[in-house]
Amino acid sequence: MTVDTSIIGASAGSRRVHVERGPVEFFATALKDANPVYHDAAAAAAAGFAGIPAPPTYSFVMSHQGTRGEEQPPDRSGGSNPGFSVIGALMREHGGLVLHGEQEFVYHRPIVAGDVLDGESTVVDVYEKTAKGSIMVFIVTETVWRDAAGEPVVTERFNLIHRRAAQ
């Protein structure tokens, strides 16, 4: 079977988030990170941060806590993530498992409480691998989070995998 690569380059959603101190501190606490820079503005300033910094990987969850409906930018995806549509079709046709694969973060500067960031997600790759009696379809999405000046703050790449038994 050949995987459909027509969704490469398609938008997978846009959103604006407000990075708020409470959720940032909660995230650090959930990670059991007691570093004072995540909880004390004076400690963050003394460490050279412009505000309370967000711990690594925070950008993956920030759109679940910092969005305000009335402030959302136009969404080029029309509200439909094409990667999720492909995974849904594979699940309906073949069953199988959906897995969170590799994820990476490239920081251009620290995310800090008070930032308002715009994220644009794009499907950047779709490919298939066969291994150990399984067929896996990988959908790779990249999200670039930019500040009000349009400068990138963090770029994340996320692999979503559909795995099923080979026929």
Residue 95 in domain: yes
Query: pLDDT grade, residue 167 (50/70/90)?
Result: confident
| 66 touches 17 (CB < 8 A) | yes
Is 146 part of a structural domain of the chain? Answer: yes
Domain with residue 154: its CATH number is: 3.10.129.10
**Is residue 109 assigned to a domain?**
yes
Residue 46 included in any domain: no
Which CA distances in Å does 34 have to 24, 31, 38, 109?
A: 12, 9, 8, 22
Q: How many domains does the chain have?
A: 1
Question: How many percent of the chain have pLDDT more than 70?
Answer: 99
pLDDT at 1 over 60: no
Please indicate, yes or no, if residue 140 is contained in any of the structural domains. Answer: yes
Residue 161 lies in a domain: yes
43-58 residue pLDDT tens:
999 999 999 999 999 9
Higher pLDDT, 98 or 72: 98
Place of tokens 């995230």: 27
The parent domain of residue 118 ranges over 11-18+68-165
How many Å apart are CA 35 and CA 46, to the nearest integer? Answer: 13
Buried (b) or exposed (e) across 94-113, using 16+ Cβ within 10 A? eebeeeeeeeebeeeebbbb
Q: pTM for the whole thing?
A: 0.88
Read off the pLDDT of each residue in 108-132 and give the average, rounded to a whole number: 95
In-domain check, residue 60: no
HEC per residue, the chain: CCCCCCCCCCEEEEEEEECCHHHHHHHHHHCCCCCHHHCCHHHHHHCCCCCCECCCCHHHCHHHCCECHHHCCCCCCCCCCHHHHHHHHHHHHHCCEEEEEEEEEEECCCCECCCEEEEEEEEEEEEEEEECCEEEEEEEEEEEEECCCCCEEEEEEEEEEEEEECC
pLDDT beyond 80 at 77:
no
pLDDT of residue 84: 87
Residue 57 lies in a domain: no
